Amino acid sequence: MKKLFLVLYLIPFLLLPTGKVVGAENPLRVEVFPKGIRQGDVFLVRTSAPAALSSIHGEFQGKKFPLAQGANTGTCEGLVGVDLNTKPSRYEMKVVATDRGGHSYSKGLPCKVEKTNFAVQKLTLPRSMVDLDPKTLERVNRESKKLKALFEGVQTETLWRGAFVRPVEGELSGAFGVRRIINGQTKNPHSGIDLRADEGTPVVACNGGRVALVDEFFFTGKSVILGHGGGLYSMYFHLSEIGVSEGARVHTGDLLGRVGSTGRSTGPHLHWGMIIRGARIDPLSFLRLTKHLQE
Ligand SMILES: [Zn+2]
């Protein structure tokens, strides 16, 4: 009697027209690189992509992310950023696919985000650069709105390809994620890295993309931002000269401009920032993916 009840109970589930294939083999194989993920890291998701798929995407922390044709045929790849303020915890990364017959498959992988120990830095700057007058404050607000709108824009085409490169050779003079206290006031954490280099040193594109912004801002000085597709942007700040125009298509290693000290800066350096779908990521984390991103 008990057995019969169980069978009858299961029948409605086996017949549910959800498009899910009950008992069929799930064709998705998913891998994540690197194996250890910390706050401020980017990670690569690589999945097998059987030829008969009609759609595929990933999900992390409730947000969808695109998966595009990978370096090897039959694979799809995507980059996922873990914002520097993400709570260290266990999360699930999920890949969802539909085949041409309308059947959907999903595959989840547990992803543990570890804590990064960000440093604290105390800086003293001239009051005129910190306590902003109303006119400057208005300018700063306008500029930050422009950046926010840019990063929220949709850019579907994937333009990056293969490994990321350092935009300038130079010693690290400002680490990523440093909690800054300027003239005794706590400010936003440092959302990029500073690379010290002589004024005029060439600055190159860290990967393929399109020039999304060329401007001169109060804090960031002469600035170039590249859009690489899928919500990934790279930023090059405090330049002395800019050699590209908005809309131009650039490839890995193309000249963008030259190192300078424009904007709020204490000496010639490049501020290199990376953002992916709003998550602020350590640029060095992109370089650590090199061995997994061969063409
Ligand atoms: Zn910086």
Residue ranges per structural domain of the chain: 2-114, 120-290
Quote the ligand 1 centre to 174 CA distance (angstroms): 6
Say if strands 53-60 and 63-66 run parallel, antiparallel, or are unpaired. Answer: antiparallel
pLDDT tens profile 212-235: 999 999 999 999 999 999 899 999
Q: Which CATH class is domain 2-114?
A: mainly beta
Quote the ligand 1 centre to 236 CA distance (angstroms): 10
Kindly report the pTM of this predicted structure.
0.87
pLDDT tens profile 80-113: 999 999 999 999 999 999 988 888 889 999 999 9
Strand, coil or helix: what is 147?
Answer: helix
- Quick one: CATH architecture of 120-290? Distorted Sandwich (2.70)
Output the pLDDT for position 24.
59
- Please, which residues have CB less than 5 A from ligand 1, an ion? 174, 194, 271
Quote the ligand 1 centre to 151 CA distance (angstroms): 18
Output phi, psi for 184, to 5 deg. Answer: 85, -5
Section 259-270 average pLDDT: 95
**SS3 labels along 83-97:** CCCCCCEEEEEEEEE
Rg (CA), the chain: 23
- pLDDT higher than 80, residue 55: yes
DSSP 25: P
Dist CA 238 CA 177 (whole Å):
19
Section 177-186 average pLDDT: 90
Quote the ligand 1 centre to 54 CA distance (angstroms): 42
Q: If you search the block for the tokens 């985000």, which residue do you land on?
A: 113
